[in-house]
Amino acid sequence: MSHQRIKTPCIGRCSTVYGDLVCRGCKRFHYEVVNWNQYAEVEKRAVWGRLEALLVQVVQAKLEVFDAQRLRDQLEQRQIRFLAEQSVYCWAYQLIARGARAINQLEAYGIALLPEFRDWELPALRDAIDREFFLLSEAHYERYIAPRFLRGELQMRV
């Protein structure tokens, strides 16, 4: 595995350039994508933390990591980049996101699908996780961020 520090959540599929308020690739808000390089470390950690919490919520509802060391070993062996300080459920997502088409026995990686997802193909599961992660990020934006913008816009008109 590359031991270079992952410096940004960007995965190279930015949709904010097309007007999305939440990036369909990394799930950051449009202004976070634009301002990332100006953010202090505390601001970057806050974004990473929110993304991690939302992703863990989605992934934990679909699978169980029963052997974190085996998962880590497999990620390193297959040179799949991951953040060691993040939840093992983020690691599991990285494995599925990068290897969904090549993995035959998920249990060999220290992961088991929950009963209601055992019949799913991994590419379909990966896509479902990504879609749900995006919807949660979008809902978070609508609930906590957009109202601030709207209030500011309304105050300027009055």
Mean pLDDT of 34-50: 96
User: In which residue are the tokens 């009055």 written?
Assistant: 158
Residue 154 pLDDT grade (very low, low, confident, very high; cuts 50, 70, 90): very low
Task: Count other Cβ atoms within 10 Å, centred on residue 2.
Answer: 9
pTM over 0.85: yes
Of 1-15, 28-42, 43-57, 87-101, which range is least confident? 1-15
pLDDT, average across residues 84-110: 96
Q: Give domain status of residue 8, yes or no.
A: no
* Nearest 10 degrees: Cα torsion 96, 100, 103, 106: 40
pLDDT (average), residues 57-69: 98
107 in a domain, yes or no?
yes
Q: Does residue 53 lie within any of the structural domains?
A: yes
**Rounded Cα distance, 74 and 20, in Å:** 35
Q: What is the mean predicted confidence (pLDDT) over 28-53? A: 96
The answer as to whether 97 is a domain residue is yes
- The more confidently predicted of residues 50 and 18 is 50
β-sheet bridge partners, residue 132: none
28 C-beta neighbours (distance < 10 Å), count: 24
> What's the pLDDT at 49?
97
First-last CA distance in the chain: 56
Examine residue 6 and state whether it is found in any structural domain, yes or no. Answer: no
Determine, yes or no, domain membership for 9. no
Across 100-104, average pLDDT: 93
Answer yes or no: is pLDDT of 127 > 60. yes
Share of the chain above pLDDT 90, in %: 78
Q: Examine the pLDDT at 150 and tell me if it is beyond 70.
A: no
**In a domain? residue 144:** yes
Query: For residues 20 and 10, what is the distance between their CA atoms, to the nearest angstrom?
Result: 15
Closest to 98 (Cα-Cα) out of 71, 118, 116: 71
Domain total of the chain: 1
Domain membership of residue 38 as a residue range: 16-157
Report the distance separating Cα 128 and Cα 126, nearest Å. Answer: 5
Reply yes or no on whether the pLDDT at 78 is more than 50: yes
